[in-house]
Structure 1
Amino acid sequence: MKSPFTSKLWLLLLIPLLSTTAAFAQKLPSIASKTAGMKKYPGYFTFYWDENNGKIWLEIDRFNKDFLYVNSLPGGLGSNDIGLDRGQLGGQRIVSFQKIGPKIMLVQPNLDYRAISDNANERRAVEESFAKSILWGFKTEAADDDAVLVDATDFLLRDAHDVVGSIKRTRQGSYKLDASRSALYLPRTKNFPKNTEFESTLTFTGGEDAGGFVREVAPDVQALTLRQHHSFIELPDNNYTPREADPRAGYFGISYFDYATPVGEDIEKRYIARHRLQKKNPSAKVSEAVKPIVYYVDNGAPEPIRTALLDGARWWNQAFEAAGYKDAFRVEVLPDSADPMDIRYNMIQWVHRSTRGWSYGASVQDPRTGEIIKGHVSLGSLRVRQDYMIAEGLLAPYEDGKPVNKAMMDMALARIRQLSAHELGHTLGIMHNYAANNNASVMDYPHPQVQLDRAGKIDLSKAYGTGIGDWDKLAVTYGYQDFPKGTNEKKALDELLAQGRANGLTFISDRDARSPGGAHPTAHLWDNGANATEELLHVLDVRKKALQNFSEKNIKPGAAMSTLEDVLVPIYNYHRYQTEAAAKLVGGVNYTYAVRGDKQLVTEVLDKKEQQKALDAMLRTLSPEVLTLPENIITLIPPRAPGLRNSRELFAKRTGLTFDPLAAAQASADFTVSFLLHPERASRLVELGARSNSLSLQDVTNQLIENTWKGRRENGLAAQVQLQTEQVVLTHLLALAQNPNASYGARAVATAAIADIKRHATSQAKRTRDDNYKAHLAFTLARIEKPEEIVPTKVLDLPPGAPIGDGIFGCE
């Protein structure tokens, strides 16, 4: 029991503390007095603009209540390689304001780990087991009974999008944010009942070590000024029902670990990403939506491109109609008064860069459920010009006295329609589907489907498909069907996927298609045709015809002759993607994303005859006939004219300024051989050859050597092409033999193939009287006998064919 003296002592100590706290509270001005004379922006989070001091004062009247915080980049850098594009979405986080004395914390909980339980202690155990993040700390500057006022300026003027990090990661310079040259951007700082939007102008200084990509786009490399956007968004209500993910359905989504899951069930929960869409009458076969999905096309896109974007995006209404909706999907032009970064607008944005590059579809999602709140497509504006140039290369259209062939613009616009639909599909939640060629899905990457008519002329009329494919309709029905009450949803979705399989619809996505050592026979980027081998032979025929027709008529009258090289590059390399597709048939394994009990194919080794046909077609791409450019083309291309950029999209050269047909041929040959002798493919060929009726790695290396080193000797330039192709083959065999990532068996076969080349070279050296061939053989023997002393010639890469840079998921 405490003595009266102890109690009095505690009281004496507590009175000054209470007086200090009361005095602190009394010293804080009211929000009205603090913001007197400032412009008030009422809305979701009311804020005030203090023009005299250039500050934003934020009124916070809701604590411990979650909302969504999103940052984005409305004003970009313009470099595809660095990736800081106009309209780029940044991080999206569930956050809440928490009050601790005079401090206001912006707290992000850790939603990757949860306990979906009514038991508060169970939820607390998970919350306390994993870190959360306090994103920012504010100080209370004014207060009313249920609200406080904080200075949000520093929060809004920070580098939330990590511009500094993006530039550094791409090795383009060391920059830092300069506060003296940064300010709030009032034209895009607005407030609405359910979302509060802020924007700032930020300047990054430094640039002493600025890289070429920065120098290409910045007016002054020592001062890069961009804009960043911040959105505070009310979270959706609880009436949305998440839909469980299925690996066969082809949806992006969310996942988290639920520690309330009973032992014996999967602790990781997965749900698809999709917009909220409900039928007014779920029991009806066809019904209007409670609230349609509406997208807006950038009003900055010029005609006729704007109309093409609208047309392509509207294709998706076909899929929603197939799912039983009427007028549930609309696409309109963005009103002039609207902000593209406003969370209320699903956007198709027209983005300019200094080079052509990837387009992509992103979205803002509710991290709790996967519900898509905003879809945002970014379309690179230079893509349409690339397709137009490919058409120029195919048609050689510029004849004196004749109008420009309309087929070129038709093809370019057809591609834009398809691209608009493709990227919008990602913002609906749908992944790529690379097994859905022949126009079964707009979510594949399409190569132009160019035909040769009966007269042998090139026909572009069906270069790109139109409309939504059958897979797309199946995917939308899977993701967006609103089932009547009482429906067993899981059973209904399983039946839907089973019907799709019965109709020949399959799904294979990025990881399987993008791997250079991939094995799936139908999963390829930028390919066409039901059979990759047959399509490669067709593409080679189209390429041959285009090269036969190639002349000064491939460029406009008055254009510098050196620009013929720009047009030649995509035509000479026209077969590159179909070559990659055919490579996957060599050592190919067909498989699906099967689940137990669905009775679909699990794995199956591709028939040896099919593999052999693919190998034969690939070996044709290494022939001097295919690789050697004719003299009439070579003599047309002078060194680059003054004032024209030396673009990386031109052929690499070893001859200085003059055109180098041998370098072009080497890069193409290296491309083919790199796929055939990829260490993953080589190791798989050893494994498959040992256990099935498959090509073996010995089969591949033997035929590769027979068709190059032991092939019929050529003359002239074709002979030099042949010799360097042989060296390319040797380079890849030497690399495979020493590659620690390849299997022992693959390395052993490569070593045996090198020994075969050595025997052949030794024998030929004793017979030949050709000085060039003799030198080639001597160099070969030196490379084999002393590989550590003879440095191989540097590999030349093909000029970028796909949009420049590495591909990323959810983009094209």
Structure 2
Amino acid sequence: MREKALLINLKTVVLATVLLSTGTMVSQKKNKKDKDKTEQAADSLKTSKGKKYDDLIKQGTFKKGLFNTIQVKTDLYLEINDSLFQREFLVVNKISNVPMTINEQGLNRGMNYENKIITFHKDLVAKKVWVKSSVPNVSSPTGDAITASVNANFSESIIEVFDIETKNNDSTSIVIKANKVFDGKQKSFNDVLSNIGLSGSVKSELSYIESVKTFPKNIVVKSQLTTSVFEDGIAISVTLGVTSNIILLDKVPMQPRFADKRVGYFSEKHWYFSDDQQAMREKELITRWRLEPKKEDLEKYKNGELVEPKKPIVYYIDPSTPKQWRSYIIQGVRDWQIAFEKAGFKNAVIAKEPTDEDTDFDIDDVRYSVITYVASQKSNAMGPAVVDPRSGEIIESDIIWWHNVMTSLHSWMRIQTGAIDPKARGNKFSDEHMGEAIRFVSSHEVGHTFGLKHNMGASFAYDVESLRSPDFTAKMGGTAPSIMDYARYNYIAQPEDHVETITPKIGEYDKYAIEWGYRWYANENEEHTALNTLITKHQNDPIYFYGEQQGADSTIDPRSQSEDLGNDAMKAGEYGLKNLKRVVSNILDWTYDKDESYFGTGNLYIGAIGQWNLYNYHVLSNLGGIYLNPTVHGDNKASYVAVPAEIQKRAVAYLLKNTLTLPQWLFFNPILDKTNPLKDTPVGPYEYTPYTLARELQYGFLYSMLSDERLLRITENELFQRNETKENVFTVTQLFKTLRQNIFASTIQNKSLTILERLTQKNYVDVLIVSTNKLFEKTEPKKTIEIHENLNMPQLCDYLDNSKMARNINQSAMKRVSEVTSDKKGELNQVLQLLKSKRNIGNQETKNHYFDLIQRIERALNNTL
């Protein structure tokens, strides 16, 4: 093989030598030949098809815009001016309407599902227009040698081709027939079925282009696309309304602003190459609107005066929004004015209803940012944005507002504030009370459309006791220094505290983050210095702390959690449980509705159980927790700080008292004379019996408590704290000893066990067995984890869950040779020896229980590899 390769190389050298000797002549002939072909092709289009352009105009409907459009019956022609070739366009696809089959799956009008950069390339020789697409996330200086390599290694791809039908009369534009990319025949511009997760293909005979609008900088094409889905083996026809926007991007992108992990913005990754590097540099560009002062206001702006931006951010209210909620949604947008004033702009954010003056208004038109109201059973809201990936500039945003979001708000307020607020107790709230809740959600979602991520660490800035103070809550404006936290309502304040400001509002972190992201600077150097100075100024104040969102099952930093309040989860949980007891004792009265079923009662009851479950996990995250600080060189901060041992011990004490000892006031109470806990599902109410629910929730909790990752963090923290005194280190051995002494307290005291004590012991042992012996796969808690997720209080912005934790920390590799396996086996053996010594003590049920556990443990230890 090597000799053959050498022979081929020698032939190549000889051939190259011949070509070099004649290359100049061949090149000259080829260039002349190509030029002649191009001229001949141009003449051919001009002469033989010269009449066709005029004929198309006469036969069809002509509209002038970015692309002139000509509609001839069912055919759509686009006229592309020569100046637009090789310019960058952004294709933005949206859902315009859906049938019930799709609505039930959570796909609704206004949702954006596929964006891409495209360019058009004219080829007169082939009489074609080629469409290419690229991912414009790579840059290099124009004059650098490496730029040629960048262009070659990050080139465009051809995604579509059109025949050139004709030219206009002065040959400054060409015409293409564009039906196939909008009517579903081709997927190059709009692959709706793949993007929304439907299999199959578009049925072209049942699909068509509905309408076309063209404007100076964009074109809007609406289509009706049909496919089939199978339900119970029967094919059902499904037609989706889709809208494709093609937007002309600016030749010069907005000056990007680079992300800093100490401030929470969504971002676009970008790679930078240059000759003077020794390694490629990766940066992230924050997503933000282009807010700039007007030229005539530059000096005022620089001098600290508030000025109006050249182009404000405008949100339109969907006309299908019920009238009683419009003013609250608008106010939720306008509440951000105070934050943008910190960035030097007044009247930067406008929210309004479309009027007769907005003659071109169209919800699907990318020129309009719309708060879209969706008729659906889904209880959610979200605020995505259309972004220019070259710079991070937000071009447009559509907030999706599902009608049933009010069910979540109603549940949150009843459960979290019903104990202290009489307005939050009834089956239906006043418009004013619900309106204020809608205002809060509006502000939160609009914050996302400015580029802000969730700041789950904001609520940790407030001391728990301060949330019981009317003066503090009134002064600070709510439950956390950021409305971008999931700090819902004040469940800490007690009835005797008389706290009235219980709803989240725009806070100090929000103002700071908007100033950091939106203050305008004349040049990049000035910007870099000013932004670093701003962060340095606030870096030691917890009010300005940014805590990255974490996955519910992978929380490492207990400061950054969803749905929590205050800086002490144990104390917050105790106050929360006091109020929750008050709520549970009143559920039957609050949900009374003459001649109605007990569905509302059971639904509120399961929400209360979900709230208890939230407190459990808020506390649990302290066990094996690590404070993850976003740090940079020179700030003198530690990146990783173990949660102090004393806090971990308090967390275990709370959990033994309130979780591992199941609260009978919650699971066994008069409500059960009327209804079980009820979960509303697409197939109808789903009932949970209290014994089964309590057992499975506790099992799932124990499984998380004794997870390998958590125990590994405790072990690793012990390793790094080896120079600390014994009292300042919390170990896995201490954890197991404390749990065993409490869970088996009645066993140690030679008492007969209650049903709930036997339940907890079984859960504890089985969790250890599942963790150490994979032969017991059938007892793994898959179903339990699903139930736990269902019982959580509802969350907004679920679409953000894909970007949970920016820091991926590997702490679980090679678990078989870690201390975790030894610790768990050792604990099983300790329990086994205890049970053997007590096997003949207690009533018959207790003896049966011990016999069962002894057999389980012995089998697990014998079968463990």
- Is 2:581 the partner of 1:544? yes
Which residue identity does 1:622 align to in structure 2?
A: L
1:285 aligns with 2:308: no
Distance 2:736 2:453 in 1: 37
Deviation at 1:239, TM superposition (A): 7.3
CA contact (8 A) 1:197 1:231 kept: yes
Whole-Å separation in 1 of the counterparts to 2:485 and 2:133: 37
What is the aligned partner in structure 1 of residue 508 from structure 2? 470
Shift of the alpha carbon at 1:592? 1.3
Selected match of 1:774 from 833, 838, 847:
847
Q: Is the 8 A contact 2:306 2:341 kept in 1?
A: no
By how many angstroms is 1:767 displaced? 0.8
Which of 499, 516, 526 aligns to 2:537? It is 499
Aligned to 1:255: 269
Matches within 5 A, 1:313-352: 313-335=333-355, 338-352=361-375
Shift of 1:167: 5.7
What is the TM-score of this pair, normalised by structure 1?
Answer: 0.84
Q: Which amino acid aligns with 1:377?
A: I
Aligned residue in 2 for 1:798? none
- The reply on whether 1:785 has 2:858 as its aligned counterpart is yes
Q: State how far apart, in whole Å, the 2-side matches of 1:720 and 1:228 are.
A: 57
Structure 2 residue identity aligned to 1:108: S
Verify: 1:154 aligned to 2:163, yes or no: no
TM-score normalised by L of structure 2: 0.79
Amino acid at match of 1:682: L
Relative to structure 1, the CA distance from residue 724 to residue 405 in structure 2 (aligned partners, 3 Å threshold; closer, same or farther) is: closer
Paired residues of 2:416 and 2:491 also in contact (CA < 8 A): no
User: Is 1:39 matched with 2:61?
Assistant: yes
Partner of 2:161: 137
Query: How far is 1:581 from its partner?
Result: 2.1
* Cα offsets for 1:118-171 (capped at 9, x unmatched): 35x643321212352222211122223122211111101225554433564xxx
Count of matched residue positions in the alignment of Structure 1 and Structure 2 = 745
CA contact (8 A) 1:627 1:665 kept: no
Q: How far apart, CA to CA, are the structure 2 residues paired with 1:408 and 1:713?
A: 55
Kept in 1, the 8 Å contact 2:712–2:820? The answer is yes
Q: Deviations over 1:422-451 (max 9, x none)?
A: 121111111111110142101111232135
In structure 2, do the counterparts of structure 1 residues 648 and 766 end up closer, same or farther at CA, with 3 Å as the change threshold? farther
Which one is further off, 381-390 or 313-322? 381-390
1:71-150 equivalences under 5 Å are 71-76=93-98, 82-100=105-123, 101-119=126-144, 122-144=146-168, 145-150=171-176
Deviation (angstroms), 1:87: 0.8
For residue 651 of structure 2, give the secondary structure of its aligned residue in structure 1.
Answer: helix
SS at match of 2:604: helix
Does structure 1 residue 388 correspond to structure 2 residue 402?
no
Whole-angstrom CA distance in 1 between matches of 2:399 and 2:641: 38
Query: C-alpha separation between the residues in 1 aligned to 2:338 and 2:831?
Result: 58
| Aligned partner of 1:270 among 281, 284, 291 | 284
Aligned equivalents of 1:635 and 1:260: distance in 2? 73
User: Which segment drifts farther, 384-393 or 324-333?
Assistant: 384-393
SS of 1:747's equivalent in the other structure is helix
User: Residues 390-539 of structure 1: matches in 2 within 5 Å?
Assistant: 390-392=412-414, 412-437=434-459, 438-451=479-492, 453-454=494-495, 461-466=500-505, 468-483=506-521, 488-510=526-548, 513-514=550-551, 516-539=553-576
1:192 is matched by which residue type in structure 2? F
**Residue 754 in structure 1 maps to residue 828 in structure 2:** yes
Q: CA–CA distance in 2 between the matches of 1:286 and 1:412?
A: 37
| Partner of residue 184 from structure 1, selected from 202, 209, 222 | 209
Aligned residues of 1:104 and 1:139 also touching (Cα < 8 A): yes
When residues 24 and 287 of structure 1 are mapped into structure 2, their CA distance, relative to the original with a 3 A threshold, is closer
**Alpha-carbon shift at residue 497 of structure 1 (Å):** 0.8
Partner of 1:803 in structure 2? none
2:250 counterpart residue number:
236
Q: What CA RMSD, in Å, does the superposition of the two structures yield over aligned residues?
A: 3.6
Query: How big is the shift at 1:570?
Result: 0.6
Q: Tell me, in whole angstroms, the C-alpha distance in 1 between the residues paired with 2:52 and 2:172.
A: 11
Q: Do 1:286 and 1:326's aligned partners in 2 also have CA atoms closer than 8 Å?
A: no
> Is the Cα–Cα contact under 8 Å of residues 288 and 518 in structure 2 kept in the other structure?
yes
Secondary structure of 1:378's counterpart equals strand
Q: 1 or 2 for the larger relative contact order (CA 8 Å, sep ≥6)?
A: 1
> Which amino acid is 2:572 matched to?
E
Partners of 2:417 and 2:490 within 8 A in 1: no
- Aligned position for 1:175: 200
Matched position secondary structure for 1:594 = coil
As a proportion of its length, which structure holds more helix? 2
Gaps of 5+ in 1: 211-219, 654-659, 791-812
* Match 1:603 to one of 640, 664, 675: 640
Q: State percent identity of aligned pairs.
A: 22
Distance change (3 Å), C-alpha of 1:25 and 1:767: same
Matched, 1:665 2:694: yes
For 1:403 and 1:387, the matched residues in 2 are separated by 12
Give the match's secondary structure for 1:448: coil
Aligned partner letter, 1:737: T
Which residue identity does 2:405 align to in structure 1? R
Q: Is contact 2:416–2:489 with CA below 8 Å preserved after alignment?
A: no
Matches within 5 A, 1:187-202: 189-202=212-225
Structure 2 stretches of 5 or more lacking a match?
1-20, 460-478, 722-727, 775-811
Residues of 2 paired with 1:638 and 1:583: CA distance? 27
1:575 is matched with 612
Conserved? CA contact 2:493–2:575, under 8 Å = no
Cα deviation 1:236-276 (Å, max 9, x = unaligned): 35373222222212112222222225224652233221111
Choose from 165, 170, 195 the match for 2:194. 165
Task: Report what 2:771 is aligned to.
Answer: 736
Preserved CA contact (<8 Å) 1:73 1:89: yes
Closer, same or farther: CA 22–344 of 1 in aligned 2, 3 Å: closer
1:646 deviation in Å?
A: 5.6
Aligned runs of 1:215-234 on 2, under 5 Å?
Answer: 222-234=236-248
Change (3 A) 1:321 1:177: same
1:745 paired to 2:780: no
Measure how far apart 1:480 and its partner are.
0.8
Distance (Å, rounded) in 2 between the aligned partners of 1:517 and 1:20: 63
Name the SS for the 2:852 alignment partner: helix
* TM-aligned CA deviation for residue 486 of structure 1: 9.9
Q: Which amino acid aligns with 2:849?
A: H
Distance 2:613 2:274 in 1: 51
Note the C-alpha offset of 1:672.
2.5
User: What is aligned with 1:368?
Assistant: 390
Please say if residues 46 and 166 of structure 2, whose CA atoms lie closer than 8 Å, have aligned partners that are also in contact: no
Higher mean alpha-carbon deviation, 608-617 vs 738-747, is at 738-747
Task: Tell me the residue number matched to 1:59.
Answer: 79
The CA distance in 1 between the partners of 2:209 and 2:699, in whole Å, is 52
Q: Which moved more, 1:469-478 or 1:501-510?
A: 501-510
- Given that 1:76 and 1:87 are in contact with CA atoms closer than 8 Å, whether structure 2 keeps it comes out as no
Change (3 A) 1:262 1:605: same
Following the alignment from structure 1 to structure 2, what is the Cα–Cα distance between the partners of residues 182 and 765? 73
How much has 1:277 moved relative to structure 2?
0.9
User: Is residue 138–residue 272 contact of structure 2 (8 Å, CA) maintained in 1?
Assistant: yes
